[in-house]
Chains A and B, each alone.
Chain A
């Protein structure tokens, strides 16, 4: 490489560029130059090629796209001489990643280098595979790499690379290493004397045990031996001590490996380990040299987490707690940061609340530290250590800090303060105070959830209502208040303002005056709330106050022609209603109590966790069943008529909808059925806050509905249980039904997620075969146990799921391939019965597997010469079926074409002379039918987009029927409830085609959704 003058000159040129523009010009010139040279193979000597490839890497490093020349870099790998080969390997591993197809070209060369005799080449090849090897490499190279690792003839140099290369291959494909055969070898590897090899081997062990600790239990004592050797500084060459500490990294690795074993049973091993740990805990002093200090504390913190993991004797635990207590007060920021972090973890394993409380003031100081990393940790710890006894102090601190905190933290901060206030409120008025203060101080960062929640509490607690009303009034008296404060105050005063009537300055007309002063300052979404409040104030004025009435009617009149539909509708309706006297009072009666529900705030906090990935709080939140003030009467509120419901609907702009809903049989998707949560993101909160009464019937459905928006009543009688309604003990993240439907149309994505686990899926389909891989990822820092996955296959699919390990280690992901074979056409869906245990919490879920009919379709575009003979050859039922479908979701033709294409039924444009018709074709694969051509024709009515005529023809009667029904489902259903329609049975003869009731629900004209918007 010496004397590569061209490269140095180029680098100097770049450095001399005055500005970015000049640099870009120079780079472009060079890229052009390289490109020309690469094209002209003849003059391209290996030396030149090498030089250019280095230049490419340099340009790439500067941040420019280098989209050519990958081939040249890869080809250098097969050069016979070291200098070129080396460049090829290094540049390839920087420019490409495992997903590049080019890499496959090199597999053979790489393998030859690995199994060849040239040690230098072996090293290069192992490095490449270790850094960017993908699944293909894992499948073809693992045995060779294993051989190198245990070979006695290889130098340590090669073996340590082989060990880490194997780590990579194992991560890419855990099947690459067979635990049965490898466990003994692994154990022998840990007897290694050379510390370089041992360091790498320990990394390999960590990767292996994180997946399956049982198979490698023989390695456990070996790890303890390594620790003993290092901690006594026996047989540790000078070069492996770092500032006097025998390889701190190896110590950390060995202790990390031990944390994957649930416990240590052998008493002598346990004793030996505890001696080592004791020495580390006691013998680590703070020293002046930063590096030495860091290294020794790296070991110490790892020891701490090992002790926490082993749940050691009380004495040792209290030593740890004492140490952490010291750390959270030191000035050194790194140590303090780690002290705070580990203390938060400590809270989860043992009861240290009392000890931590002694440090409360110190932790609060850290909350004001200039470094955001520290503040975050302090916030987490304060949040974790909060209980009834210190909630007041801590929340007060959080509130105080809120005014000075930077924006990036305010939202998290206000959410946490709100949750703590809710969980640990010593009395309710305090809770109301805190939330109102929150809104006052950081209104922009207070999400709607927070004020919805306070409204729920106030509604459910009569004692609280006068207090809340007077507080709301107090805030309204201020000159400038946040809009959220206007909303919450208006709401509360509307409901409970009359309770203040005796107090001076609180008559209805005065309340109206101060509220109305705010109206010009608020945005459109707040105005409807104010209008509702006015209506309520008016209603509560007994005897009627003509002056007030005049004022309020004037407001209603003014908004009668408002451009915002919501405001306009309210203004008109309230105006009309208020003229009706008695009915008015019924309609605007006080809101009934809300059903008890889990705090959506806590749920949200868990979601926040997910991004920040601080599992501590998440776990805690699960461990402590919310001791929130349970105030709501769990019994259904009887006798509270849903006041506004009928009048509003009947006065609604769409009288047809009522007629329609009345004409529908019971139990179908009725428009005004209040029990159907509107498919609204905020339905959890908005639903009950709507003017309708809380559902009088079961609240269990309300609770279970998180993922169930997509499962309206039409599923009854389905063979497939609406899987989302399982009473899970965890909050789900995302909507399972939506995830399923998304996966029906694509091949990879998330199937299921809760705070503990994420199940991803990746699928490949070929003919009637499919290969799915389930990725089960543990999101926690504690293992998930008793993991079970069982497939409940429908009759038409053959499914084989590789066994899922019983335990998923912390933060690990296991993969479980699932082979699918389609035997005959059917729309039934396979279900995965999945359960696991997190701590003592058993979670189970039934998940539909997206191995649905359209996955076995392969797009196929036909020309008219190909299409029509086939079409004519299919003559009438049962091979060709025709049906007029009504109640179709109105789609423009291009949209409909996209829909068809999305499930692999290819639209053949231009075949049908009538532009309102679509003609489509596809190939279906199953074992019984083989590859079967499917043809379809859709005739639409431009005058009425809700109906169309569909003709489907294939060479198999069952397939024709199933495909027709399948397409129908896609056309009719609203997206979220699609495919939940029960299968009509495998044979065409068994079930007559059932015409689905038209599904009129479109969010825009759904009165339920509109109601939800009415506050």
Chain B
């Protein structure tokens, strides 16, 4: 099951955080700090290896930065695993159980990004900043109780437009 999902930029600013297990506030901040610093640590290598990947910070180009070719997307984190994926300046991290299927969750991140991209048509970090409330709504249609709820992009986008009409 997914313990938490985090969306952070390279400066470590949290753009989305959702916990499916109860954590104390101080604990949350610690987790967020550690996750991003580990990611950044890996990033140092990435930067050296593939300078061409450094794009406009706030521009999320899906499929542009798949991953660098040297590192896994899995980091063993305390007694769990963090599956992370980097899209330009944004890190998407999922903390899952140690026995969970890593690749399935890795693609789960990508599906989420595709959904965001569809919804905001060509999403960028600013979209997520100013519409963070919408991101939470989308996430609630995508993941519930730490489990995948819906894997059809169309179903989620349709649901979102249904909800927008209600406002």
Contacts and interface: CB of A to CB of B under 8 A. Distances in A.
B148 A195 contact: no
A719 interface: no
Nearest to A100: B22
Interface stretch (A270-278, A294-302, A664-672): A294-302
B17 A61 contact: yes
A663 B72 CA distance: 68
A925 interface: no
B145 A168 contact: yes
B103 A338 contact: yes
Contacts of B71: 333, 370-371, 373
Contacts of B121: none
B122 interface: no
B72 A165 contact: no
A63 interface: yes
A811 B110 contact: no
Given A240-B152, A291-B110, A611 B79 contact: yes
A244 B70 CA distance: 27
Contacts of B99: 781, 810-811
A62 B13 contact: yes
Given A295-B107, A781-B99, A167 B147 contact: yes
A916 interface: no
Interface in B14-51: 14-20, 22-23, 25, 29, 32, 45
Given A94-B136, A98-B22, A249-B104, A130 B72 contact: no
Contacts of A290: 66-67
Contacts of B14: 61-63
B108 A249 contact: yes
Interface in B118-167: 129-130, 132-134, 136-137, 140, 144-155, 159, 163, 166-167
A120 interface: yes
A236 to B, nearest CB: 11
A63 B22 contact: no
B145 A239 contact: no
Contacts of B146: 168
Contacts of B59: none
A249 B148 contact: yes
B102 interface: yes
Interface stretch (A196-204, A396-404, A439-447, A880-888): A196-204
A900 interface: no
B106 interface: yes
Contact of B76 (A98, A291, A297, A376): A376
B53 interface: no
Nearest to A781: B99
Contact of A333 (B70, B79, B148): B70
Nearest to B26: A65
B125 to A, nearest CB: 11
B151 A242 contact: yes
A234 interface: no
Interface stretch (A156-164, A220-228, A506-514, A837-845): A156-164
B103 A63 contact: no
Given A63-B29, A199-B151, A250-B151, A127 B140 contact: yes
A160 B145 contact: no
Nearest to B49: A370
B112 interface: no
A8 B130 contact: yes
B103 A301 contact: yes
Given A160-B150, A295-B103, A97 B70 contact: no
A997 interface: no
A130 B110 contact: no
Interface in A307-342: 331-334, 336-338
Contacts of A2: 167
A151 interface: no
Interface in B81-108: 97-99, 101-104, 106-108
Contacts of A168: 145-146
Contact of A239 (B16, B17, B153): B153
Given A63-B29, A168-B145, A295-B103, A240 B74 contact: no
A256 interface: yes
A406 to B, nearest CB: 11
B152 A252 contact: no
Interface string A911-932: 0000000000000000000000
Contacts of A946: none
Nearest to A15: B129
A63 B31 CA distance: 11
A374 B74 CA distance: 9
B167 A161 contact: no
Interface string A540-584: 000000000000000000000000000000000000000000000
A351 B118 CA distance: 49
A613 B151 contact: no
A678 interface: no
Given A1-B167, A82-B167, A294-B107, A373 B151 contact: no
Nearest to A169: B145
Nearest to A170: B145
B54 to A, nearest CB: 20
Given A62-B14, A373-B75, A248 B32 contact: no
A938 to B, nearest CB: 39
B74 A373 contact: yes
A1004 interface: no
A83 B167 contact: yes
Contact of B149 (A83, A86, A161): A161
A99 B22 contact: yes
Interface string B52-69: 000000000000001101
B98 to A, nearest CB: 5
Contacts of A164: 144-145, 147, 149
Q: Which of A90, A131, A240, A611 has the most CB of B within 10 A?
A: A131
B101 A252 contact: yes
B79 A613 contact: yes
A58 interface: yes
18 contacts: A11-B130, A58-B132, A62-B14, A82-B167, A131-B145, A157-B159, A164-B144, A165-B144, A168-B145, A196-B155, A199-B150, A203-B145, A249-B104, A252-B101, A294-B103, A294-B107, A337-B102, A613-B98
Closest 4 CB pairs of A and B: A298-B103, A97-B22, A168-B145, A298-B104
Interface of B: 13-20, 22-23, 25, 29, 32, 45, 66-67, 69-76, 79, 97-99, 101-104, 106-108, 110-111, 129-130, 132-134, 136-137, 140, 144-155, 159, 163, 166-167
Interface of A: 1-2, 8, 11, 15, 54, 57-58, 61-63, 65, 82-83, 86-87, 90, 94, 97-99, 120, 126-127, 130-132, 134, 157, 160-161, 164-165, 167-168, 195-196, 199-200, 203, 237, 239-240, 242, 247-250, 252, 256, 290-291, 294-295, 297-298, 301-302, 331-334, 336-338, 370-371, 373-374, 376, 611-614, 781, 810-811
Given A65-B25, A294-B110, A374-B72, 12 more contacts: A11-B129, A57-B133, A63-B32, A82-B167, A196-B155, A239-B153, A239-B154, A248-B107, A252-B104, A291-B110, A298-B106, A301-B101
